């Protein structure tokens, strides 16, 4: 009986192994690019400039959905060029021009037919930069981490794209500045590459590098782009001082000295970036202004829990994937999947205290806490070590109160220091990742009305991601 059981287990394992080999992804495809020779391509969506003649088309896309591994309804081809400043992509989407769909939408929405490029410029087989261009010209961009398990749409790089419909279907061109990518200083670069197309009417997606849907991983199964030589990472020092003048008009409230119909103020500050090495970047900001970002949606929250808002401030977005340490796996479901050890929106949040007012008193309180300054060190070394260290200080905030006794001030938020440190080490070509993280909050509380806040709070955690058995199984802890 025991012998039969062992033989059955061995037979099952052999069958599973054979099935896995049949469904294993094909070997990585390779695209060989070339440096722009002469004039740069004009970004008009035509892919007919002389520069494009120096590189070959690549195609033979394979359907990923709905029918995994089948031939797509229409084929796709692309070319890639580069120079010292940017990558250039040219695409030919073969199709009946009367059937393609062009739908307008906001950025990071993906309407109608589109073409997408994923670039693993670290070549760590875990992270990638994604650029999507729809037929209507709508751009979408995401930072991909955790081998395709996390897609962060808050990342908004600067890049360009153009499209055009013709008798053969539609064409597109992209220009992606190298400054928007992260890579080391090697003389010759080898990057991961995936190109994906959506045909809207068929709800079909096809890819250049075939990745069967039952195969674990996304970035780790990319093809490769070869031939990029003698390029330098983004310039070492960027300093961007700013000044902002604001004027606001609103309805006047009789008797309220702070609601007299208009308000104005002036701010100055500075943002900076220093590339310490090909692996590490130091970002800093002094009195940052985030007035250019999209406002949060309005929401009435009647629960005991704070509303979760996604991070849109540029300073906090870069390196956010490193600072992501979930407290519960995605399988938990519900709001628990948003629980993180570090939530950056608490830096610069709305003041915690509101002044207690009598009926004949009026107050003017700040809408958010001022960030005096912040610095962040981020990067990933060639040995697979990812680090992010964030330090930030916010100001003591006071509300002005006016009443029969005159004008006074009361503290509504103490001066606060925030610190976050995170390190992650890749092993086995990214199949095993071990990480650790610590956070610290220290408040300078001197006013009794703020004693309900903790003076100090510290937290830490470790995490493990381990893929084994040819990535058929995944362990997270």
Cα 425 to Cα 354: distance, rounded to the nearest angstrom: 44
What per-residue confidence (pLDDT) applies to 14?
44
What per-residue confidence (pLDDT) applies to 387?
94
What per-residue confidence (pLDDT) applies to 93?
98
Cα 190 to Cα 114: distance, rounded to the nearest angstrom: 26
What per-residue confidence (pLDDT) applies to 111?
83
| Cut 0.85: pTM above it | no
CATH of domain 24-229: 2.60.40.1190
Cα 224 to Cα 64: distance, rounded to the nearest angstrom: 19
Residue 379: partners with Cβ closer than 8 Å, 6 or more residues away: 276, 277, 279, 280, 281, 386, 387
What per-residue confidence (pLDDT) applies to 452?
93
H helix or E strand, kind and range, residue 95: none
Neighbours of 81 (CB within 10 A): 22
Q: Determine the 3-state secondary structure of 206 from DSSP.
A: strand
Find where tokens 């950056």 sit: 344
Residue 50 backbone phi and psi in degrees, to 5: -55, -30
CB 424 within 8 A of CB 386: yes
Cα 252 to Cα 354: distance, rounded to the nearest angstrom: 22
Residue 419: partners with Cβ closer than 8 Å, 6 or more residues away: 390, 391, 392, 438, 439, 440, 441
Q: Tell me the C-alpha to C-alpha distance, in Å, between residue 61 and each of 45, 58, 77, 197.
A: 21, 9, 8, 9
Burial of 273: CB neighbours in 10 Å, binned 0-12, 13-18, 19+: buried
Query: Could you state, in order of their start, the residue ranges of all structural domains in the chain?
Result: 24-229, 237-476
Series of mean pLDDT values for 10-residue runs along the chain (477 residues):
40 45 78 95 95 96 96 97 97 97 86 96 93 95 90 89 96 95 90 98 96 92 96 81 84 82 85 85 89 72 80 84 79 60 91 88 89 94 90 95 88 96 89 94 95 95 86 77
End-to-end CA distance of the chain: 37
Q: Determine the 3-state secondary structure of 63 from DSSP.
A: strand
What per-residue confidence (pLDDT) applies to 306?
77
What per-residue confidence (pLDDT) applies to 264?
83
Structure tokens at 341: 């050890």
What per-residue confidence (pLDDT) applies to 304?
76
- Strand pairing report for 150-152 and 139-145: antiparallel
Residue of 123, 240, 141, 118 whose CA lies nearest to 182: 123
Residue 269: partners with Cβ closer than 8 Å, 6 or more residues away: 241, 242, 285, 286, 287, 288, 289
Cα 349 to Cα 341: distance, rounded to the nearest angstrom: 17
Cα 97 to Cα 92: distance, rounded to the nearest angstrom: 12
What per-residue confidence (pLDDT) applies to 162?
97
Structure tokens at 135: 């037929």
What per-residue confidence (pLDDT) applies to 5?
38
């Amino acid at each position: 009986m025991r012998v039969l059981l062992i033989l059955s287990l061995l037979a099952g394992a052999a069958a599973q192994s054979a099935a896995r080999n049949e469904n294993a992804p094909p070997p990585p495809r390779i695209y060989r690019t070339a440096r722009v020779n002469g004039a740069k391509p004009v970004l008009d969506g035509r892919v007919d400039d002389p520069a494009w003649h120096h590189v070959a088309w690549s195609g033979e896309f394979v359907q990923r959905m709905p029918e995994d591994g089948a031939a797509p309804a229409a084929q796709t081809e692309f070319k890639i060029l580069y120079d010292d400043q940017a990558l250039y992509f040219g695409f030919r989407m073969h199709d009946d021009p009367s059937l393609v769909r062009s739908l307008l939408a906001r950025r990071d929405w993906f309407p109608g037919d589109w073409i997408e490029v994923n670039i693993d410029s670290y070549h760590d087989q875990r992270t990638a930069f994604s650029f999507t261009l729809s037929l209507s010209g709508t751009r979408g961009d995401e930072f991909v981490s955790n081998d395709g398990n996390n897609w962060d749409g808050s990342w908004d790089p600067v890049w360009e794209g153009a499209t055009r419909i013709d008798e053969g279907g539609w064409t597109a061109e992209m220009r992606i500045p190298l400054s928007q990518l992260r890579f080391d200083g090697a003389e010759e670069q080898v990057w991961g590459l995936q190109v994906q197309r959506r045909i809207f009417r068929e709800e079909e997606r096809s890819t250049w590098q075939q990745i069967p849907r039952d195969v674990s991983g996304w970035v780790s199964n990319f093809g490769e782009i070869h031939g990029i030589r003698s390029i330098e990472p983004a310039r070492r020092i960027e300093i961007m001082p700013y000044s902002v003048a604001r004027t606001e008009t609103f309805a006047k409230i009789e008797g309220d000295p702070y609601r007299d119909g208009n308000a104005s103020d002036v701010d100055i500050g500075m943002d900076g970036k220093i590339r310490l090495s090909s692996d590490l970047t130091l970002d800093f900001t002094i009195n940052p202004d985030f007035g250019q970002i999209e406002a949060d949606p309005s929401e009435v929250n009647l629960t005991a829990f704070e509303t979760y808002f996604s991070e849109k401030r540029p300073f906090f977005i870069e390196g956010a994937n490193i600072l992501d340490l979930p407290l519960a796996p995605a399988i938990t479901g519900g709001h628990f999947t948003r629980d993180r050890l570090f939530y950056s929106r608490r830096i610069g949040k709305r003041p915690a205290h509101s002044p207690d007012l009598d009926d004949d008193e009026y107050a003017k309180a700040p809408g958010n806490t001022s960030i005096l300054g912040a610095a962040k060190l981020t990067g990933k070394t060639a040995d697979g070590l990812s680090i992010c260290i964030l330090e930030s200080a916010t100001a003591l905030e006071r509300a002005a109160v006016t009443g029969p006794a005159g004008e006074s001030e009361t503290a509504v938020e103490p001066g606060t220091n925030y610190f976050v440190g995170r390190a992650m080490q890749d092993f086995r070509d990214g199949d095993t990742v071990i990480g650790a993280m610590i956070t610290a909050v220290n408040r300078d509380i001197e006013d009794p009305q703020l004693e309900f806040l903790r003076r100090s709070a510290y937290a830490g955690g470790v995490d493990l991601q381990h893929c084994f058995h040819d990535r058929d199984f995944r362990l997270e802890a």
